[in-house]
Structures are given as structure tokens and as C-alpha cells.
Amino acid sequence: SAKKKKQNIHCSWIPSINITCLTFQENIPEITAMGTCSMGHFFIMELVGRNLSDLRRQLPHRRLSPGTLYRAMLQVTHALSLVHGAGFLHRDLKPSNCCIGVDHVTRIYLLDYGLARQYIDSSGLMRKPRESIGMRGTLRYVSLEAHARHDLGPSHDLVALLYSIIELGDGRLPWSKMRDEAAIKASKMGTTVEKLCEKQPKMLKMAEVAFLSVIDDIATSPTVAEAEICELQ
């Protein structure tokens, strides 16, 4: 209904407008205007180009070259470190939310903060986890924590980033053609890290192992882990 749609616009506005503190940062699209209309709040951001998912599908082998993938990974990691550093989680990181620039085609922008949530309070501490939440994100890329309906932390975004990198480099994930959540979850649980990364070039495989180390660290020490994310760049 129109009433429900207006409520959804209002809800998504709160995290999205808070993210505007990151505008003018590299790899974050610039917010050029904001305000309200009859349907609710709105903001206008700079025009960007095609997303990485569409670009991958246009290529002959439906995958990015190792060099292109590595450069894209560094830029998305940088954008994510800015979001986390501002105290927010993205919660819907995926290739279709990463776009090239129009004027700067070698620059990658991280988009779509409609599911973003502030996880650091005003005193700089992590907010207490909620006992149960609904699904947040896109099934193909979410962490097992999301499948379990647990409250999410920064490691969730890193898992989504890792899955995105592997899909862009391999052309698919083991569960890419699955639609049932239970089947996707089972496939994720049954796929080892070695199996997931086996087709990746050595350079990328080393970076992915580093990501896994950070994912473990970030669950217990977000501040230290954020510094480690920056070091990955």
C-alpha cells in the first residue's frame, strides 16, 4: 500500500542520510541534494556507471581478469573501511552495489545504504546485539550469521565482500543457481575455504586468506580489525 511504501522510505532514509557524512570521500558517491516530497524523504547522488555484476556478464568468460579484480577489491575494501570507520554496517554488499564511475571509469563506488545500520554508539562502543532479527541482505552473499537471524557485525560485510570477489573472479559461486535459503545455507556450510578459493590466482588467494583472518579478529576486536582492513589495501 501507499502508506506502507511511505513508511519504508522513511525507515531507509535514516541510515542513508547518516551515511552522507562520508560524501566527498573516494569510492563513496557524492550526495548532491536532499529533502522531502509527498512520498517521504529523498536524496540525490552523483551519476555512476555500470555495476560490476553487469560488467562481468558482458565479458566473454563472464569473469573479471585477476588484475582488474584485485584493483576492484582494494577499492571496495577502502569504501567499506570508511563505512565501518563511521560506525555503520552496509549489510547488503554485493557486485551489483559496486559501480564504476562515469568520468572516472577506473574508480569503484559502493552504493545502496538502504539496509545500513549504525553499530557503534555515541560513546564509541558496539551496540548490544539484538536477540533475533529478520533476514538482512541478499541470500547469495550473506553470512551464516544472517542465515541464523543473528544480529550482524562488521564481519558480515567482509563475508559478503569475499563471496563477491570470488563470484567476480570465478564467474559463479557454488550456490549461485540455488534459490531456496536452506539449500544455500547448506552449501555455504559444506564448502571449505580451500574449495571456495581454489580457482583464484595466487595473489588473490593470499588476499582472501588475509580477509578470513580479519573476519575472525573483527568479531572480538572491531577497532584492531578495522586497522587490519586498512592494511589489506
* Angle at alpha carbon of residue 127, lines to 138 and 121, rounded to 5°: 110
**pLDDT for residue 183 is more than 90:** yes
Q: pLDDT (tens digit, 9 = 90+) per residue, 97-128? A: 999 999 889 999 999 888 989 898 888 888 88
- CA separation for the pair 53, 98 (Å, rounded): 8
Pick the catalytic residue from 54, 92, 157, 170: 92
pTM recorded for the entire structure: 0.82
Going by DSSP bridges, is the β-strand pair 88-89/31-37 parallel, antiparallel, or unpaired? unpaired
Give dist(CA 47, CA 102) in Å, integer.
7
Establish whether 216 is a catalytic residue.
no
pLDDT at 2: 42
What's the pLDDT score for residue 194?
78
Give the residue with greater pLDDT, 164 vs 46: 164
Q: What is the pLDDT of residues 46-58, one digit of tens each?
A: 899 999 999 999 9
Banded pLDDT at 10 (limits 50, 70, 90): very low
CA atoms within 13 A on the CB side of 162: 25
Name the amino acid, one letter, at 12: S
Residue 67 predicted with pLDDT over 50:
yes
- DSSP designation for 132: -
What is the chain's mean pLDDT, rounded? 81
The pLDDT of residue 220: 46
Judge whether 76 and 56 are in contact, CB under 8 Å. Answer: no
At 103, give phi and psi (nearest 5°): -85, -30
For domain 48-232, the CATH class is mainly alpha
Query: Alpha helices of the chain — where are they, by DSSP H?
Result: 2-18, 52-58, 66-85, 144-147, 154-170, 181-190, 193-197, 202-218, 222-232
